[in-house]
Structure 1
Amino acid sequence: MRIIYVYDTIAVVGGIERIFVDKMNYLADHLHHEVYLVTSSQGDHPVSFPLSPNVHHVDLDIRHHVCYRYLLPRRVWMRFRLQRLGKRRLKEIIRKIDPDIIICTTTYMAGEICRLKCRAKKVIESHGAREFIHLTDDFKLGFFKDLRNKWNTRRRFRLIEKYSDVVVTLTQADAKAWSKASHVRVIPNFTKFIPPQSSPCEAHRVIAVGRLTYQKGFDRLIDAWSIVNKQHPSWRLDIFGEGIRREALNGQIRRNGLAKSVTIHPFTKNIAQEYLNSSIFALSSNYEGFVLVLLEAMGCGLPCVAFDCPNGPAETIRDGEDGFLVKNGDIKAFAEALCYFIEYKEERKAFGRQARENIERYSPEAIMPMWEKLFNELKEK
């Protein structure tokens, strides 16, 4: 089959970008489909994860950033022109490739792709909890911008529900939110992130990974760590991530007197080694779609503590077996769960071993046949 993935740019190190590249590589290299990645504004930026030579990359060369050289109203006019140019070039490349399947996310050109007049089946991937997709990293842009974001998101969702052939969600919880779509399928992400060795869970170190934004809730983790640190001052918390809340979080660390036990590090390409050098993984998110870093940590044999936030952790962690799910927002209970793993080393190691075993259900060999089955069903229609 000829399959096209459409995305704006794969130039940052992020979860969606990683899983997109991993799936394209698997479809091309293992299932032998003819796979295309169509980006709109990749430009000269390298693809942030290794892309198989069997995946054809086409960039539409739409330089959206040039809009910001101009003041209003010319900026609005330039944005309009570039959007039209992008749609025209996308139509041309789809006409040329004549794919069987077109795949995109709910956040980029989904409405336009769903309404394209072509024989291809349109698959829309929901990579975030539907009720939170309209939120930005800033969380609040201002009343009118927030209102515009909500309106545009709802309009896009209506088009997806009306015109897409299938919406693929990562969790059962998110699938319920798409009940108005004609066809919904749950296919979780997979992870290849299972190194040959496992963490010995001996280091006095807790690790957390993610963008420094409201969504990831690191302010809640730091509050919980204030409790943990009083009982276990020899333990450290290391957070790996970058984002707009770095300064605010560092200020919170200083105010709470945690500068010697909490450190925020930039993202690293060798995150596997950081997991292996840790003993517990902490997930403090306010909301999620699906938590790839949780799969990574479990694949490295780490027991996990997570808030039971919407929508991902409860479908990945088996509470009391490979980690603990804590009532969302209960800082004290979160700290107590961390303290339990700190104080009971053998339990910590047993949970870590079970996490590594349980995560096998998210291997490529377990997940990608679900995609192959879906594609065959769509082709038969």
Structure 2
Amino acid sequence: MKIAYCVENIHNSGGIERILSTKSNYLVSHGYQVHMVVICPAPSKPFFYFDPNVKFHYLNLDIRKDHGLRKKINFNKNKKIFLDSLSKLFSEIKPDITISTFCIFSKYIYELKDGSKKILERHFAKYKRAYYYAKLDKYYLGRLITYFYRRQEYAIIQKFDKFVVLTHEDKESWGNRLSNIEVIENALTCIPKSTSELENKKVITLGRLNQQKQLDHLIEIWSVIAKKYPDWKLEIYGSGSQERKLKQLISKLKLTGFIKILPATPNIEKVFLESSIYAMTSKYEGFGLALAEAMSYGVPPVSYACKCGPRDIINNNKDGYLVAFNDKKEFIEKLSLLIEDENKRKKMGKAASTNILRYSPEAIMKKWMNLFDKLVNTN
């Protein structure tokens, strides 16, 4: 069976890129032909490892160069260029399944009449960026408001054979208007052979240094933790637009000796095995892959209960702590509990490494392969 992924870029060091490499490698090892269609110009080598049997196709469409009014004026022209380029490619590779990651023009692949089944795979929750609208879902009128806010997306989603989201929480947020919605979580990139001993006085977090991750919250939280536990350190792994701003905040709060910002690394095993707590202060998530992976290494997490992911992944008070969204005081309290109580830390870590196996590659990829078979065998 031939599977074609349509992505904007595959060469960054983020969670989307990592999970796509994991899925692609698993599929080719099980006899699938996988084609990765990269829309925008990109470096020649991806950050994460891809099996040599994964075939890359670069459209090299520089459609991110337009902004503002020019972007709107050139929208239909750029969309046509994209669809024409993809149509030509698909006439050669003839995929059975085509998967859009909801990026730029890839969400319009349903317009192609190439015979492949179309899947829309969303790596962010419904309330990406507009997370404040999530509060409206508690009320009937509020749900109508959020529907009209997203009505264009609803119309696009309904054109696909299947719409895949990452969490049950996110599925509920889309309501009952979509008959083609299905939950398939992100798979762990691997099952560790060993877990952390949780004895190093180190807390870590991984992710892009951007507004979404709210790492300024974690740095401000650490200004309190550093005074209480000066021998504990925080390490932040990643790069991004806010790196300079975050380093300035670290300097302003006199935390240079307590916090390190380190570049993203494909060798995350060593990072997890040398840490004792995972911290996440995100504004929103699609799933929280780094959170799940930390738990697979037996590292107990403390995380904001943001939308979406942490509530699905963490069993609160059993294998980690969920903290009320943006409640820095409670976050400090939960971090302090795990720092002070080594037995609790190790008990939670052991539970985390066991409970998280429900996201093993075998369990998750079985869901994907079953979906592929079902779609291909449906007229």
Same fold (TM over 0.5): yes
Distance 1:302 1:50, change over 3 A: same
| 1:260 pairs with 2:257 | yes
| 3-state SS, counterpart of residue 106 of structure 1 | coil
| 3-state SS, counterpart of residue 4 of structure 2 | strand
- Name 1:24's counterpart in structure 2: 24
TM-align CA RMSD: 2.5
* Cα separation, 2, equivalents of 1:204 and 1:238: 11
| 3-state SS, counterpart of residue 377 of structure 1 | helix
- Name 1:145's counterpart in structure 2: none
Residues 180-238 of structure 1 show CA distances to partners (whole Å, capped at 9, x for unaligned) of 33311100000133332211111111111111111111111122212212211111111
Identify the range of structure 1 (162-171 vs 251-260) with the bigger mean alpha-carbon deviation: 251-260
- Name 1:272's counterpart in structure 2: 269
- Name 2:83's counterpart in structure 1: 87
Extract unaligned runs of 5+ from structure 2: 132-145
Within 5 A, what are the aligned runs for 1:40-119?
Answer: 40-64=39-63, 67=65, 82-119=78-115
TM-score (norm 1): 0.88
* Cα separation, 2, equivalents of 1:74 and 1:89: 21
Fraction of identical pairs, as percent:
37
Q: How far did 1:59 drift?
A: 1.7
- Name 2:178's counterpart in structure 1: 181
Residues 230-288 of structure 1 show CA distances to partners (whole Å, capped at 9, x for unaligned) of 21111111111111112222222222222221121121232221221111110111111
Runs of 4+ in 1 over 6 A off after TM superposition: 71-80
Q: How far did 1:83 drift?
A: 4.4
Residues 295-338 of structure 1 show CA distances to partners (whole Å, capped at 9, x for unaligned) of 22112210110111111101001111111111111111100111
Q: How far did 1:106 drift?
A: 1.9
| 3-state SS, counterpart of residue 127 of structure 2 | helix
* Cα separation, 2, equivalents of 1:115 and 1:74: 24
TM-score (norm 2): 0.88
Q: How far did 1:293 drift?
A: 0.5
Residues 33-78 of structure 1 show CA distances to partners (whole Å, capped at 9, x for unaligned) of 222111123455212222222222222232446x47xx99988877
* Cα separation, 1, equivalents of 2:56 and 2:114: 21
- Name 2:35's counterpart in structure 1: 36
Within 5 A, what are the aligned runs for 1:208-227?
Answer: 208-227=205-224
| 1:249 pairs with 2:246 | yes
Q: How far did 1:88 drift?
A: 0.9
* Cα separation, 2, equivalents of 1:91 and 1:345: 58
Q: How many residue pairs get matched?
A: 363
* Cα separation, 1, equivalents of 2:353 and 2:127: 31
Identify the range of structure 1 (121-130 vs 192-201) with the bigger mean alpha-carbon deviation: 192-201
- Name 1:281's counterpart in structure 2: 278
Identify the range of structure 1 (326-335 vs 226-235) with the bigger mean alpha-carbon deviation: 226-235
Supply the AA of the counterpart residue of 1:58: H
Q: Would the aligned equivalents of 1:10 and 1:42 in 2 still touch at CA under 8 Å?
A: no
Supply the AA of the counterpart residue of 1:336: E
Of structures 1 and 2, the one scoring higher in RCO (CA 8 A, sep 6+) is 2
